[in-house]
Amino acid sequence: MTSAIESLPLQTERLRLRLCGAADAQALFAIHSAPEIMRYWNSPTWTSIEQAHETIKHDADAFRRGESLSLGLETLDDARLIGRCMLFKISTTHRRAELGYALVASAWGKGYMGEALRKLVGYGFTHLDLHRIEAEIDPRNTASKKTLERLGFQHEGLLRQRWLVNGETSDGAVYGLLRPDWRSLQTSSPPPTSPRA
């Protein structure tokens, strides 16, 4: 990912998307230890700051191996880390990756994640030469569903009772976006100046 390193961090109207370091552990822990944020994730809430440090190390190692790209969402006005988004399970053979994201509850409803994902998805198709990006979400997460659909992702199927987290079973809704479709969207309808999701 030499070209990926050279072109980071990414920047949007209100955010800087950057690699996380040890200094971000507390902010990441605050996100992943909050039940309302982790409600629709397929893994339990974090219980120790060590999990944040382990994740930061894991993400850095996976980035060096070209397996994933995990970026923190930092606000430009006050340099506050409010979330993270990632392309993971990157396959150079099949030119595909999966999309993941989380946002601190105080930033919900302000368009930050849609703004960040629009940049990350474009980066995946252009700099990482991906052909397909997919996301799996809990179908009850209507905010996430709307964000993906605004970016052009199409609902491709439902994986019934796929996850068992904290004793609760949940389905997985699969969404996908192909590079030709993404290119067509860039030509036909430029992204709005004020993100809505």
pLDDT digits (tens, 9 = 90+) for 30-68: 999 999 999 888 889 999 999 999 999 999 999 999 999
In 30-114, which ranges are E strands? 69-75, 81-91, 96-103
Closest CA to 98 of 81, 119, 73, 120: 120
Q: Quick check: is 32 in a domain?
A: yes
Q: Quick check: is 181 in a domain?
A: no
Q: Quick check: is 26 in a domain?
A: yes
Calculate the CA 32 to chain-centre distance.
14
125, 12 Cβ separation under 8 angstroms: no
Q: Quick check: is 104 in a domain?
A: yes
Q: Is 148 helix (H, G, I), strand (E, B) or coil?
A: helix
Higher pLDDT residue, 186 or 173? 173
CATH number of the domain at 119, please. Answer: 3.40.630.30
Domain region containing 116: 2-134
Tokens read off for 173: 């809704």
Structurally, the chain folds into a number of domains equal to: 1
pLDDT digits (tens, 9 = 90+) for 142-178: 999 999 999 999 999 999 999 998 788 999 999 999 9
